[in-house]
Structure 1
Amino acid sequence: MSTITWPVGGVIDPHIHQWDPLVNDGVVAKEARALRRVPRVPRALRWALPRADREFVGDPHHVLKPYLPLDYRADAGGVPVSTVVHIEAAWPHEPHARSVEETRWISGLPFGQDGAPALGAMVVHVDPRWPDAATVLGQHLTASPLVRGVRMSAANHPDPGIRDFEASAGLWAQRAFLDGFAAIAERGLSFELWGYAHQLPDALPLVRAYPETTFVLDHYGTPAGLLGPRGTTAGRDERQRADQLARWRDDVSALAGHPNVVAKHSGLGMPVLGGEVRRPRSAPLDAHFVDTVAPLIRHVHDSFGTARTMWASNFPMDKPGIGIPASITLLLDVLGSYADVDLLLRDVARRTYRLG
């Protein structure tokens, strides 16, 4: 890491999550409180989870324990992260206005203190299909001047062994979603595109319908099973993985053809990609891993260009698979002289999220 010439003013990480299941309600709050006295959640506990959850989160410690600004600072290691963007983290949203509690809570965390990075922006949860979506958006914007975008995860997989975050398939292309999205577009907010790789074509009608909105492709479209078997059928053999990669290339190219879409180099540590690891990958990275993910990195770079691509950590969800310093080293090693460090690690994120 010492050989990298870091951007002046530090690195911007445009995709982190923060939570504390010991004090806030959420999907794992009950389990987290039962393990309150356990300093380190045993990795073996993942076998008590349903398969889809186990293969999505990997090591359960990082979701069953608080993950706060100083935890992130420790994970960043020698990377001089000055500013972060918080992405919504499945806060309860029934009633819908309850999602605003996350915005208020994040606003009160000790960012910028004791060496933790500053909070530059927030991406909040709102479902455009909600009849009160405009009202809830207004409440988020009132709760914090740092709200810059929205994420409504579309992740839905036909394999029952792969975790869904949305009950219906084809979310982004649904008429109710397309019509309701006007509430987001009218407020000048960006939108995070996160689903599984086979869902990428579903985003095209949305991207075309709102050409003035900035859309952010997250985590390479998360090709589940690319690194090894996942669920009951995904990634079962080399031919299947090669076919998935070929379709992914075409679908990413189609999205990149729209100038209002940018992309994040993130998500390569997510266990749902496959490939069991006992501890987060660190430099030097094993050659097989690099060779497998390099086509993703190069194709996103070649399709979107340096002006529309940015690094992001996706911590702590990437934590089981790759450390923050190693994720940057991986990118720079694969891209070589084609990498523009200032754009990749700072300027594209600053422009996308309108950071000061």
Structure 2
Amino acid sequence: MDIGDIRIIDAHIHQWDPFGNPREFSRTAKLLRTLPLPLGLAVRLAPRRDREFIGEPSAYLGPYLPADYRADAGALPVESVVHIEVEWAGPKAEETRWVTALPFGVDTPALAAVSGGGSPADPGFTELLEAHLSASPLVHGIRSMVAHHPDTGIRSFAGGPNALRSRAFLDGFAALVERDLAFDAWVYSHQIPEVTALAQRYPEATIILNHLGTPAGIFGPVGKHTGRDAEARAVILERWRTDIADLAESPNVVAKVSGLMMPILGHPVPRAGNPTPVPELIDRIGPLLRHAAGTFGADRLIWGSNFPVDRPITSITHSAEAVATVLAEHLGDSAPLEKVFRANAQRIYRLDRA
């Protein structure tokens, strides 16, 4: 499907420099830079949960900056991007300050907005929001990485389950709503009902479900037992379908069509330089996209590449083409694609107020 006429807003990318700023993976990147250890051996020595999550580690072992994204985007007509926080290990507002100082918009896509890091459950969350907003006028959202999986063999990013249900989180969330900031929620698929409950408690909030809820193991086995066979994967899909339909009943929620190439979904990881071709991607992600389109509709879907996290599985152009092909077949003419790949991001992230 040709989306070449759409001036695309990529609503979910990451930038980092593990050597120059504090990331959760900075120590590993620095260690592997100094040790004469072959990358293949280093990968085999890493914990299985990390191997399965990242697929292939090269993107995490060095900087990923605007020129790197431009190279990955290739001929895809990306006009601007939204930067989403990722594993910053220092004061969260410093990531916002750092990313907005990067050379976006010269010979690279412009930086349209930032979704900064922070948890409403943390003490001082209100002060953190003010620090983000002072760091850059491009802060239009906040993301909390609260993904936690009951399979202990799958990497979790929260200290425990039910993070979105805690009293501290629910009370702190009001500060975000008062400032008219969008909330990017990254959860694993069994946590989607928590997002639904949050949306119902705060119907005035704009909530963005990242990565269609990340149904780990839906394409293949991961962790200790998740997605171990076709029957188990069918159970994951059916529960995901039910929970997505329930979530879509809250009109203040939109879904990001992003992260569908994350290795933790159970994708086979191809050899480097051999991105998974579009027909194979369509076969895998088609059922997810069609259900998301049928429940959320064209007005409440936003596309994001999730690069470089999705890079081990396929290219940005393959990812965008696969998504566009399925949605065009399901939604009809090109008008819905313009919403998914551009207009919805403008509206939801309120880019007109930049």
Same fold (TM over 0.5): yes
Which of the numbers 312, 318, 322 marks the counterpart of 2:304? 312
Distance 2:129 2:190 in 1: 29
Which of the numbers 112, 118, 137 marks the counterpart of 2:129? 137
The 10-residue stretch of structure 1 (40-49 or 313-322) with the greater mean CA deviation from structure 2: 40-49
Question: Is the 1:43–1:59 Cα contact (8 Å) retained in structure 2?
Answer: no
Q: Summarize the alignment of residues 115-130 of structure 1 with structure 2, pairs less than 5 Å apart.
A: 115-130=107-122
The Cα of 1:292 is off from its aligned counterpart by 2.6
Q: Which residue of 1 aligns with 2:78?
A: 81
One-letter code aligned to 2:349: Y
Q: Which residue of 1 aligns with 2:11?
A: 14
Q: Summarize the alignment of residues 1-356 of structure 1 with structure 2, pairs less than 5 Å apart.
A: 3-7=2-6, 10-36=7-33, 42-43=39-40, 45-93=42-90, 98-113=91-106, 115-278=107-270, 279=272, 282=275, 284-287=277-280, 289-337=281-329, 338=331, 340-356=336-352
Distance 1:148 1:169 in 2: 27
The Cα of 1:126 is off from its aligned counterpart by 1.4
Task: Please tell me the root mean square deviation across aligned C-alpha atoms, in Å.
Answer: 1.9
The Cα of 1:283 is off from its aligned counterpart by 7.1
Distance 2:240 2:256 in 1: 15
One-letter code aligned to 2:302: M
Gaps of 5+ in 2: none
One-letter code aligned to 2:172: G
The Cα of 1:4 is off from its aligned counterpart by 3.2
Identity of aligned residues (%): 47
Query: How many pairs does the alignment contain?
Result: 347
Quick one: structure 1 residues 112 and 39, their matched pair in 2 at CA, closer, same or farther if it must change by over 3 Å?
farther
Please, what TM-score do these two structures have when normalized by structure 1? Answer: 0.93
Quick one: structure 1 residues 343 and 38, their matched pair in 2 at CA, closer, same or farther if it must change by over 3 Å?
farther
Please, what TM-score do these two structures have when normalized by structure 2? Answer: 0.93
Distance 1:160 1:333 in 2: 36
Deviations 1:59-101 (A, max 9, x none): 11101110000000000011011110000011114xxxx1111
Question: Is the 2:143–2:183 Cα contact (8 Å) retained in structure 1?
Answer: yes
The Cα of 1:131 is off from its aligned counterpart by 2.2
Gaps of 5+ in 1: none
